[in-house]
Structure 1
């Protein structure tokens, strides 16, 4: 068998793929051997004597399984973490989540009548000032001050 390295290189250039992806039909090797110009190689590509192997790519299967497990809290232990807690969920993001929760519960309390408009406004401003750690803390404060007049 003769050396078909030149044909392989030219075929790779014609098909716009890598040399390692070029495949020759074993029954048409004599035709491929005689092809010395790019136009002859193009004809052989059109005939199907020369082809390109499919691109392999990397499987995402394992990555999908890992992501799914992380969605319900697995594979997130201390050994997996790089960076401090503030890097994983920044303090601003924590604040946004907390203030949204507090404000939505304040809205609910105002609508169901457990607090009046004046108290709502007062508590809203206090929440904005960071007085409440959480929804529960805010509700405990409301319950505590219920009897007293603020």
Structure 2
């Protein structure tokens, strides 16, 4: 039972593609006998031939594209942008200032001062309070935190 002619005519009458033409599998003999546009129009009216709804494009390819590591640059970030270099400079300067004040008051000797100064430069201490904790734990400051 070749229904290709009827399918082509139905697609033309319904103004859809051939892939969207649905033919009732129970009445294939009737459809294969239709050779004119009038026959096809009658079958459409009877509900033997119908136009299927348009298929939506698959989102599978989109999901794959979205799953890849994209859109993570600085242009798509929200919220405040912190300048890490400025934070680093502020932290190191405050720690060095504190060390120099200790040295000026004579609370820390030269050797210890330079050892801790180099630790500050290496980024060992998270904050000024962390530096103070280190100095007190290692007993490098002579008098208890008077600076």
Q: One fold, TM greater than 0.5?
A: no
Kindly name which structure, 1 or 2, has the bigger radius of gyration based on alpha carbons.
Answer: 2
Question: Structure 2 length as normaliser, TM-score?
Answer: 0.40
Q: Which has the higher contact order (CA 8 A, sep 6+)?
A: 2
Structure with more helix by fraction: 1
TM-score (norm 1): 0.40
